[in-house]
Amino acid sequence: MKIKTWISAGAACITLTASMAFAQPREYSVSTVLSDAFPWGQAAAKWAELVEERSEGRIKLKVYPNAQLVSGDQTREFSAMRSGLIDMAVGSTINWSPQVPEVNLFSLPFLMPDNAAVDAITTGKAGEMVFKAIEKRGVMPLAWAENGFREISNSRGPISQPADLKGLKVRVVGSPLFLDTFNALGANPTQMSWTDALPALTTGAVDGQENPLAVFDVARADRASQKHLTLWHYMNDPLIFGVSQRLWKTLSADDQQLLKQAAHDAGQWEIEKSRTELAATLDAIRERGVEVTELTPEQHQAFVAATQSVYEKWIPRIGKELVETAQQAIAERH
């Protein structure tokens, strides 16, 4: 009888210990390129907030900004997540493009003229095709967020036609498609990190750069001699909430759904917030003495025509069916 009681007590003790261990919060790493001073970082912070709240503190997401989990090399983020070195990320289609060619869809020049075109892709069949391509390569995509349209600025003068870019030294991100786009426009594109770009712009070693308005504003690009800004909407960089499949497969169905719904809600919150704030951001940029040029439909079409060679080269790499599906969605947008 004593033995039986001892065993029961021991079992109870073991059960209690296991229960206590299970109740301990689980913390996962989340990689982002920008901090919460930018909409990108705010999307990750909101995701972490919602997950902790909805799991009642059982799941915690620790956000690591500035690509610090990959020593600043943004293009290694996807590979690190795929291998399990990073648990999760709110990543850029540009930075994931070396491993997932299909996401170059969003970098095709002048494909998406407005927010309705972006939404037509991300919420439709083309968006599903992109997500399947990401999942196939070892990362589970959960939801979309937004880094916004990338606009061009420079220190020389207004840009309103392709000829204005001839010989212009422009800092671009490390994407072969970006190089092809600016070469097609007659510019002299230079790949470098943003950290290196600011002093190069200030000294005149580089004439211009392309970034979303939020980055231009927060980074105070106007202090780096960027006094001429053109709103040309040449590409949009959607953000994607992703989880390493190595981790995803270990999670319960309930936790998977919790993470996915929280990512969706954080993404929708960030998209609305960033779009709503754009007008005020642009006003602030103008107030600092930056000359802003907005293209007419005819001027925009001139840039479209000048970059058709990029499509000829990149459609086979991205996938003809995917590009055509996206173009159809844009044509039918409301």
Share above pLDDT 90 across residues of the chain, in percent, rounded to a whole number = 89
Tell me what pLDDT residue 249 has: 97
Tell me what pLDDT residue 23 has: 58
Q: What is the pLDDT of residues 260-288, one digit of tens each?
A: 999 999 999 999 999 999 999 999 999 99
Residue of 139, 129, 99, 117 whose CA lies nearest to 240? 139
Tell me what pLDDT residue 18 has: 40
Residue 236, SS3 per DSSP? strand
User: What residues pair up with 64 in beta bridges, in sequence order?
Assistant: 31
- Give the separation between CA 95 and CA 98, rounded to whole angstroms: 7
User: What residues pair up with 228 in beta bridges, in sequence order?
Assistant: 154, 291
Tell me what pLDDT residue 273 has: 96
Share above pLDDT 70 across residues of the chain, in percent, rounded to a whole number = 93
Domain range 25-331, its CATH number among 3.40.47.10, 3.40.720.10, 3.40.190.170, 3.40.50.970: 3.40.190.170
Q: Please, is 176 exposed, middle or buried when counting C-beta atoms within 10 Å of its C-beta (0-12, 13-18, 19+)?
A: middle
Q: Name the one residue in this structure whose structure tokens are 């709110």.
A: 90
Q: What is the pLDDT of residues 134-145, one digit of tens each?
A: 999 999 999 999
Q: Which stretches does DSSP call E strand in 98-224?
A: 139-154, 169-172, 188-191, 208-212
- Give the separation between CA 187 and CA 189, rounded to whole angstroms: 6
Q: What is the pLDDT of residues 91-133, one digit of tens each?
A: 999 999 999 999 999 999 999 999 999 999 999 999 999 999 9
DSSP one-letter string for 45-102: HHHHHHHHHHTTTSEEEEEE-TTGGGTT-GGGHHHHHHTTSSSEEEEEHHHHTTT-GG
Tell me what pLDDT residue 94 has: 95
Cβ 78 vs Cβ 91: under 8 Å: yes
pLDDT tier for residue 7 given thresholds of 50, 70 and 90:
very low
**pLDDT at 9 exceeding the cut of 50:** no
The stretch 203-221 carries a mean pLDDT of 96
**pLDDT at 248 exceeding the cut of 60:** yes
